[in-house]
Amino acid sequence: MAAFLISSCTSRSNSRGEVTGVLQHTFRTEVPYGMVYIPAGSFVMGPVDQDITFSQIGDNKQVTIPPFFMDETELSNSQYKQFVFWVRDSIAITKYLNDDKYFVHPKGGGTNNGKKYINWDYVAKYSPWRDAKGKTSNIKKLQDMFYQGDDRVFDRNEIDVRLLKYNYATMILRDAANNQTNKLKKRSDAILHDTVQVYPDTLVWLSNFSYAANEPMAQGYFSHPAYQHYPVVGITWRQARAFTIWRTRLYEAARIARHLSAATRLYDLPTEAQFEYAARGGRLGTTYPWGGPYIKNSRGCLQANFKPGRGNYTDDGAAYTVNVHSYLPNDYGLYNMAGNVAEWTSSAYDEAASSFVSDLSPTYSYEAKASDPEVKKRKVVRGGSFKDIGYFLQNSTRTYEYQDTAKAYIGFRCVTNFMGRDIHDNR
């Protein structure tokens, strides 16, 4: 018996007709850059705090959340600008320059099945906007990417941001699951094709505030280096989702370039359950991410960026947004899970969602069509912002915004899946 065990453990050959399994590359869990690990756990989701307003009508529910990774901060202007520049350079290279130097050339002189792929290593060294000597030799070829005619100001070359569109396709797995018993449905019916303008709406600083002198914020918030580490705003829900898909593809491309297997990370917006669970930081029944029940610490300092009074924005240290690493993180190491900017989630908004969603990794999702009524285009927003009163900072407070609207006080952060049972499970 012992001899049999030894031989069977050392041999993986299939020559004896035994089932030995399909060997795969060893997988090692790594915390993605800029993210923190959120362990699995159970909590009571909903208004269990001192929520007088909705204590009589709000439902709460004990749910379980599997482990995942989450950005430790809101996405900054600098991080989102990487996405914008990628789209800008892609359009410049493929539609206007058509310079063979910017594309990948397979070894051995082969072809890429008739397709062209941008060589991003070359782009990093030689910008399509400047040549090797730093001169703007390509500008004449790229003139159509700038504002034209009466849209020009002082005859400056400024990118027409309306041209910066990201085209993508993604599988909506919920639709695939719902369609699998319908013989009239095809696989393509569960594939979403979308085209999204990626540049933030910088005019939200004016359109969201009646009769406010916010022109400096509209002109410089996304472009000036002073705000590079501030949360990106003016982003619709659809733009935020497009960013998560691009981020996934960016990671996939890096793995392929290193001759590794397909990506194991799928970036997404957090569900509202993930957001509330992460905001609580492992604490049970608390009011705010830092615990509570007070919104000030022992030194009398406000613990988040919000509106502490009627028209009083500066007592917390800022009139508008602040650096994404401001204030103390919660017990999971997450910054600004309350205040600064409210954040998009992947969940669709329904007042009664807690009554019908699962108690394991719950979320309610709905892929709204352009023809759908506005009520079906509501997405859950969590966390409260610099312009909100303290009620919206509570862990359990949920509200919504329409998926095609952009606000000066709504940003986002990403999550990604964790492969396996638990990061501390070595079995």
How far are the Cα atoms of 194, 274, 331, 408 from residue 281, in angstroms, in the given order? 35, 11, 5, 27
Mean pLDDT for 271-277 is 98
Q: For residue 348, what pLDDT band results from cuts at 50, 70 and 90?
A: very high
Residues 362-378 have pLDDT tens digits of 999 999 999 999 999 99
3-state secondary structure of 314: coil
Q: Is the pLDDT of residue 402 over 80?
A: yes
Sign of the CA dihedral with 332 first, then 313, 294, and 391 last: negative
The confidence score (pLDDT) of residue 280 equals 97
- Our CA angle for 179, 184, 188, nearest 5°, is 65
Q: For residue 188, what pLDDT band results from cuts at 50, 70 and 90?
A: very high
- Cα 98 from Cα 120, distance rounded (Å): 15
Mean pLDDT for 340-348 is 98
The confidence score (pLDDT) of residue 132 equals 54
Sign of the CA dihedral with 66 first, then 34, 287, and 54 last: negative
Domains and their CATH numbers in the chain = 35-76+199-427 (3.90.1580.10), 79-163 (no CATH)
Q: Is the pLDDT of residue 112 over 70?
A: no
For residue 190, give both structure tokens.
């569960």
Q: For residue 427, what pLDDT band results from cuts at 50, 70 and 90?
A: very low
The confidence score (pLDDT) of residue 9 equals 44
Sign of the CA dihedral with 186 first, then 190, 191, and 197 last: positive
**In the Cβ-directed half-sphere of 92, how many Cα atoms lie within 13 Å?**
24
